[in-house]
Chain A
Amino acid sequence: MKRYIIFLFIAVLGWTLAQTFRAIPFGADRRGNLDQPDRVAAFYLKESPETLQTANSITAIVVNFRGFDTLGEVTVLFLAATGLASILYRKEEDDETEERITLISSSLVRTGAKILFPLILLLGIYVFIHGHLTPGGGFQGGAIIATGFLLMLITYKRFDTNHNLMVWLESLAGLAFVATGLYGLFTYGSFLQNTHSVGTLNDLISGGLIPLIYIFIGIKVGTELTNILDILLKIKPGKQS
């Protein structure tokens, strides 16, 4: 009985969604007037190259126009990582060494990982430094850095991230984000306000505070995701608490 109610519910939901999206034509122009913006999309597309001199308008939205939301999202990420750490917390037993992997990787994998690791880190750093010029930014760069650390963590038994350093880097990056916001508040009158000298379009140093904030976000996201993976990989399989 319950099964049929659920099927009915899913069918009704699917029908409603289909009817809704028949009213929203795919590919139609919904940006509004680009010369005199009457909608947010047009406003952002107009202001991003003109006022902010930021080539990537998605970066301009995430860091500048909706910067406060991004601060909130980074906080959600931080809370999720904290919750995960506290849920999986267990008392340290000193007599046993931490066993992350049970099978030893072949020497081919180990050598390949050693060669690839600095290149992946370099790619991640490149992606978040050029977040305002090319596709990419702090969130993507941080995720790429976390995949680099993941490769090392599952390949080497002895590779260990310095937990204290990670926590410090993460906290400092978060504090620096807030401090940049407060700088805008005290200098220009509103939280996360960008500077007035924003440089020229498509320069590496352009967009005012946008590259700086995205670098902080990149460091924070990268260390946060690495911490999540590190905690999850350290659980001992088969051990019951």
Chain B
Amino acid sequence: MALILFLIIMALILIAAAIFAVMQKDLLFAVLATGIISVVLSVFFYVLQAPDVAITEAAIGIALTTIIFIITIRNTSRNEDEYTENHINKFDK
């Protein structure tokens, strides 16, 4: 019974983290939520008897994808609603 409960709690965490990642305005927290999705997903793969996929998801989804998103946020803007006033666009009329 505990295993079934564990599975359902994991499913709920996945959906909650996905909704949080989409709704959050601060992009850094949104990216960390996608990291949580990867953690729970790799446990899910292990429960579904796919250890190879679980290892791949653990290495790539948790570490590498999160870090490239964070690098991108460092080089762009962190706030989703940021509306730059003095943006220069030479094609603007």
Residues of A within 8 A of B (CB): 56, 58, 127, 135-137, 139-140, 143-144, 146-147, 150, 154, 225, 228-229, 232-233, 235, 237
Contact = CB atoms under 8 A, between A and B. Distances in A.
Given A58-B52, A140-B59, A146-B64, 15 more contacts: A56-B52, A135-B55, A140-B55, A140-B56, A143-B59, A143-B63, A147-B63, A150-B64, A150-B67, A228-B68, A229-B64, A232-B71, A235-B75, A237-B74, A237-B75
A56 B52 CA distance: 9
A144 B62 CA distance: 11
Contacts of B51: 135
A229 B68 contact: yes
A143 B62 CA distance: 11
B16 interface: no
Closest 6 CB pairs of A and B: A135-B51, A143-B59, A147-B63, A140-B55, A135-B52, A143-B60
Interface of B: 51-52, 54-56, 59-60, 63-64, 67-68, 71-72, 74-75
A150 B67 CA distance: 9
Contacts of B54: 135
Given A232-B71, A235-B71, A237-B75, A136 B63 contact: no
A150 B74 CA distance: 16
B82 to A, nearest CB: 15
A147 B55 contact: no
B56 A139 contact: yes
Residue from A150, A154, A232, A233 having most chain B Cβ neighbours under 10 A? A232
Contacts of A144: 59
25 contacts: A56-B52, A135-B52, A135-B55, A136-B52, A136-B55, A137-B52, A139-B56, A140-B52, A140-B55, A140-B59, A143-B63, A143-B64, A144-B59, A146-B59, A146-B64, A147-B63, A150-B63, A150-B64, A225-B64, A228-B68, A229-B64, A232-B68, A235-B71, A235-B75, A237-B74
